[in-house]
Chain A
C-alpha cells in the first residue's frame, strides 16, 4: 500500500489534534475514557474525563463550558424586561421557573409587590414548569438505564403540560411571561378545568413510572447503594434540590426561603426527603415532588383570588440603585440571581447561581471507584440540564 501525500498530511493532522486534546489526559497505566462532549448520556455537551482500571473508575473530572453562552454578560447590555428572554434558555425544560427569581430580585429592588392573583398564577406556572421538567427526567431515567419505553410515556404526557403553558403564555418552551410587578396576561377561559385534568393525567403517569421503573428489580439493583452522598458531603459541595433532599436534608427554599413573590406559603404541601442518599433516593424524591407539584397546582387553581394581575409599575422601568439576591427552589435545585443596579434601564451586573453547576461539581468525588455503567446512573440521578451548567 502506497501512502499518498494527502494521507500523510491527514495522519499528521489527526495526531496533532489528538495531542492537543489528550495532552493533559495521558496516563501511564489504565485507560482514559472521554465521555462527551458528544455522548448520549450527557444529553448535551458535558464532558466527563475518566481514568479507568478495567471497568472501574480510578479518577474522574468534569469539564463543562462547551455550551457557555455568556448570559451574565449579555444581561448587562439589556433592559430589565429584556433579561427574562435570555434567562429562559438556562434550564430549557422548565423555562418559566428561570424568570421568576430574576423578576423577584428586580421587584425587591423597586419595592413593588405583585398583586395576589399574579402571585398565584405565577406559582401555578412555576410548579407546572417543575412538572414539565421532572416528567421528562422520569422518562429519561429509564432510557439511561436501557429501558426504552418510559421515555415515550413521558413525552406523551408532558405534551399536555406544555399545551397548558402555551395556552397561557403563547410559548411552549420559552414563555417569557413574567413581568416586574405581575404577569403579562390573565388566564384564558376554561383553562383551569383543563389544567386540573392534565394534572390528573400526570399523577397517573407518576403511578405508571413507579410501577414500571421503581418497582423493577433490575432498576433497584442498579440504583440502590450506588452513588451514595452523605448529607454533610452534599451540603459541603453545595448540592441543592432533590439531590440534597435525597440525602435526607430537609431543606426546600419554597418553604424555608422566605420568598415573598410566590404563593407557596398559602398551600398545604409536604417536603419529601429520603434518608439513603443513593441514586434511588434522589430519583424517588423527584417522583414524589412531581406528585406534590400537581397537587399544589390543583390547590392554586381552586383558591385563585380575584383582582388585578399587574401592580402599578411605571411605563419605563428604571430600577433604583442597590443590590438584591433572590433564590428560589427551581426544578433542578436552588437557583438565584444576584442583581446589582446603578439606577439605569438595565442591570449593572447579574450573577446567576444555577443548580446544576453546583450539583455536577460533586462528580469527581462521587465517581471515584464506581463502574462505567454506574457513571451513567449517577449522572442521570443527579439530573442536570446542560444549559443550567454552562449558562
Chain B
C-alpha cells in the first residue's frame, strides 16, 4: 500500500529535503528546551529561561539569533578549510542516520534492506568531523579532545553493534521497517495484546545500547572529549558563532536520532500495539508516536547526563572492553540459544 498520489522525482526530492530538516530540527529543539533548559534547571532548583515566550519556550530562537549574529572567527594558525568543513561533517552524520529510520508505513526517507547496518555505519562519520575539528583548530586542548573523542567513539561502536545483534537475531531482519513489524506482530508466550517490544526480551541489549549511545553522544559521564573543567571545551574550544551552532545542533539532533533508533529497535518504533500496521492514518500518527517514544529514551540519557560526574579516559576504555563487550557477547549467545529452542 502506498500514497495514492504519484509525484515527480523533483517533487519527491523537495518533500524529502523539507521532511529531513523537520525530522532533524524539531526533535533537536524539543530536546534542548525540555531537557537542557527545563529539566536540568528543575533538577538544580532553579527555573531556567522564563522571559522569552511563555515559560521561556522561545529562548532557543533567541540563542540561535545570537549565534548567527556573531563574528566569524578562525584562529590564525588553523587549517582554514578543514576548520570550516568539520561542523558540517558532524551534522551530516545525523541526517544520514535519520535517512533509514521509518516514521510510518509509508513515511520513510529510504527503505534500506540493511537499515540498522547503515545506521551503525554512518553514525561513525561524526568521529571524522570531530577529529578534523580537533586537529584543524591548532589548539592543544582541541587536539586532546579530538583524540579522546576518536578513541572513545571507536571503543563504544563495538558494544553498540553487538547490542543490536541480539535484536536482529530475534527479528530476523536488518530492515528497520521489518524490525518494527516483527515487534508489532510478535507475541509474548502466546499473548499478542501489546505485540513484543524487544525491550522485554533484550533488556540487556537495551541497557548496553543506552550506555553506548551516551558515549557516542559524548555526554556525561562520558564527556571527556568536551570536559569543560579540563579541556575548556575540547574539540569545540575554538569554535564560535554559526559553526558552534552547527556543533550544538549536531549534539542534540544526534541525541534525538539515537533515541529514535533505540525506540525503533526496542520500543516498537512508530507502531501502536493494537492498531493496524498498514492503516493510512499511521503516516500522520506514527511520527508523533515515535517522537513520544524517542522522548522517553532521551529522558533516560539526559537524566544520567545531569546526575553523574565523568569517568577518566582509561576507566572509560575499561568499561567498554572489560564489561560491556563481554556482556553483549553473552547476550548474543543467550538470544541465539533461545531463538533455536523456541
Query: What residue of chain A has the Cβ atom nearest to residue B314's Cβ?
Result: A371
- Asked if A152 and B44 sit within 8 Å, CB to CB, the answer is yes
Interchain CB contact under 8 A, B309 and A145? yes
B225 → A minimal CB distance (Å): 12
Sampled A-B contacts (19; CB under 8 Å)? A14-B76, A33-B144, A34-B140, A40-B232, A41-B230, A55-B144, A55-B313, A145-B309, A145-B310, A146-B227, A146-B228, A147-B310, A153-B45, A216-B308, A218-B308, A222-B311, A371-B312, A373-B224, A373-B230
Q: Does A58 sit at the interface, judged by CB under 8 A?
A: no
A221 within 8 A of B: yes
Contact present for A216 and B309 (CB under 8 Å): yes
Q: Bound state CA distance, A374 and B44, in angstroms?
A: 26
| Beta-carbon contact of B306 and A148 below 8 Å | yes
Q: Does A92 contact B (CB under 8 A)?
A: no
Give the size of the chain A interface in residues (CB under 8 angstroms): 33
Contacts of B227 in A (CB 8 A): 146, 373
User: Is B220 engaged at the interface, CB distance under 8 Å to the other chain?
Assistant: yes
- Candidates B40, B140, B220; contact of A146 at CB < 8 Å: B220
Q: Does A39 contact B (CB under 8 A)?
A: yes
Q: Is the CB of A371 within 8 A of B313?
A: yes
Inter-chain CA distance A376–B45, complex, in Å, is 26
Q: How far is the CA of A218 from the CA of B315 in the complex (A)?
A: 9
Among A197-221, those with CB < 8 Å from B are: 213, 216, 218-219, 221
Residue B307, interface by CB 8 Å: yes
Q: Which residues 348-375 of A sit at the B interface, judged by CB distance below 8 A?
A: 371-375
B11 close to A (CB within 8 Å): no
For A10, A218, A375, the residue with the greatest tally of chain B CB atoms inside 10 Å of its CB is A218
Question: Which chain B residues lie closer than 8 Å to A147 at the CB level?
Answer: 220, 307-310
| CB of B2 closer than 8 Å to a CB of A | no
Name B140's contact: one of A14, A33, A142, A375 (CB within 8 Å): A33
Q: In the bound complex, how far is the Cα of B307 from the Cα of A213, in angstroms?
A: 10
User: Which residues of B sit under 8 angstroms from A148, Cβ to Cβ?
Assistant: 40, 44, 220, 306
Nearest CB in chain A: distance from B222 CB, A: 10
Contacts of B44 in A (CB 8 A): 148-149, 152-153
B299-336 toward A: CB 8 Å interface, digit per residue (1/0)?
00000001111111111000000000000000000000
**8 A Cβ contacts from B117-154 to A:** 140-141, 144
Q: Which of B165-214 contact A (CB under 8 A)?
A: none
A148-B40, A148-B220, A156-B45 are known contacts. Are A218 and B310 too (CB-CB below 8 A)?
yes
Q: Which of A11, A14, A152 has most chain B Cβ within 10 Å?
A: A152
Look across to chain B and name the residue whose beta carbon is closest to the beta carbon of A157: B45
Name the A residues within 8 Å of B311 (CB-CB).
Answer: 218, 221-222
B216 within 8 A of A: no
Q: How far is the CB of B34 from the nearest CB of chain A, in Å?
A: 17
Complex Cα distance, B140 from A182, in Å, reads 54
Closest chain A residue to B151, Cβ basis = A55
Known: A145-B229, A222-B310. 18 other contacts (CB 8 A): A14-B76, A40-B228, A40-B232, A41-B230, A55-B313, A146-B229, A146-B309, A146-B310, A147-B220, A147-B309, A213-B309, A216-B308, A218-B309, A218-B310, A371-B314, A373-B227, A374-B312, A376-B230
Known: A149-B43, A219-B309. A143 touches B76 (CB 8 A): no
Do the beta carbons of A372 and B307 come within 8 Å of each other? no
| A-chain residues with CB within 8 Å of residue B286 when the two chains form the complex | none
Q: Does A144 contact B (CB under 8 A)?
A: yes
Inside 8 A of A40's CB, which chain B residues have their CB? 228-229, 232
Interface residues of B (CB under 8 A from A): 40, 43-46, 76, 140-141, 144, 220-221, 223-224, 227-232, 306-315
> Per-residue CB proximity of A130-168 to B under 8 Å, as 1/0?
000000000000111111110011001000000000000
- Residues on A with beta carbons closer than 8 Å to the beta carbon of B306: 148-149
Structural contact, B46 and A152, CB atoms closer than 8 A: yes
A382 to B229, CA, bound (A): 16
Shortest beta-carbon contacts, A-B, top 8: A146-B310, A145-B309, A152-B44, A147-B309, A373-B312, A144-B229, A146-B309, A376-B230
Given A55-B313, A143-B229, A222-B312, do A152 and B144 touch, yes or no (CB 8 Å)? no
Provide the residues of chain A in CB contact with B140, threshold 8 Å: 31, 33-34
Q: Which residues of B contact A372 (CB under 8 A)?
A: 144, 230-231
Using Cβ atoms and an 8 Å threshold, which residues of chain B touch A31? 140
- A-side contacts of B314, CB under 8 Å: 371
Determine which of A11, A142, A156 lies in contact with B309 in the assembled complex, contact meaning CB atoms within 8 Å.
A142
CB distance from B55 to the nearest CB of A (A): 19
Which of B76, B141, B144, B224 is close to A10, meaning CB atoms less than 8 Å apart?
Answer: B76
Name, among A55, A142, A374, the residue most crowded by chain B CB atoms within 10 Å (CB to CB). Answer: A55
A76 and B230 alpha carbons, distance in the complex (Å) = 40
Instruction: Tell me, rounded to whole Å, the shortest Cβ–Cβ distance linking B80 to chain A.
Output: 9
- Establish whether residues A221 and B220, one from each chain, have CB atoms under 8 Å apart when the complex forms: no
How far is the CB of B81 from the nearest CB of chain A, in Å? 11
Q: Which residues of B contact A142 (CB under 8 A)?
A: 309
How far apart sit A10 and B75, CA to CA, in the bound complex (Å)?
Answer: 12
- The residues of A that contact B76 with a CB separation of less than 8 Å are 10-11, 14
Q: Report how far A125 CA is from B92 CA in the complex, Å.
A: 58
With both beta carbons as reference points, the residue of chain A lying nearest to B312 in the complex is identified as A373
Interface string of A375-386 (1 = CB under 8 A from B): 110000000000
A31 CA / B307 CA spacing, docked (Å): 33
**CB of A324, distance to nearest CB on chain B (Å):** 41
**Across-interface contacts of B224 in A (CB, < 8 A):** 373
Looking at the assembled complex, report how far the CB atom of A141 sits from the nearest CB atom of chain B, in whole angstroms: 9
Quick check: A39 and B45 within 8 Å, CB to CB? no
Q: How far is the CA of A184 from the CA of B139 in the complex (A)?
A: 53
Return the chain B residue nearest A212 by Cβ: B307
**Complex Cα gap A41–B310 (Å):** 15
Q: With contacts A14-B76, A55-B144, A153-B44 known, is A222 near B309, CB below 8 A?
A: yes
Closest to A143 in B: B229
- Residues in A neighbouring B141, C-beta threshold 8 A: 33
CA distance A34 to B139 in the complex (A): 11
Q: Name the one of B40, B220, B307, B313 contacting A373, with C-beta atoms under 8 angstroms.
A: B313
Decide: A146 near B312, CB < 8 A? Known: A41-B229, A373-B227: no
- Give Cα A147–Cα B73 distance, bound, in whole angstroms: 30
Query: Could you say which residues of chain B place their CB within 8 Å of the CB of A145?
Result: 229, 309-310
- On whether the beta carbons of B232 and A39 are closer than 8 Å, the reply is yes
In the assembled complex, the Cα of A41 lies from the Cα of B230 at a distance in Å of 6
Residues of B within 8 A of A33 (CB): 140-141, 144
Q: Tell me the nearest residue of chain A to B41, going by C-beta.
A: A152
Q: Considering only CB atoms, which chain B residue lies closest to A217 in the complex?
A: B308
Residue of B nearest to A34 (CB): B140
Contacts of A209-268 to chain B: CB distance below 8 A:
213, 216, 218-219, 221-222
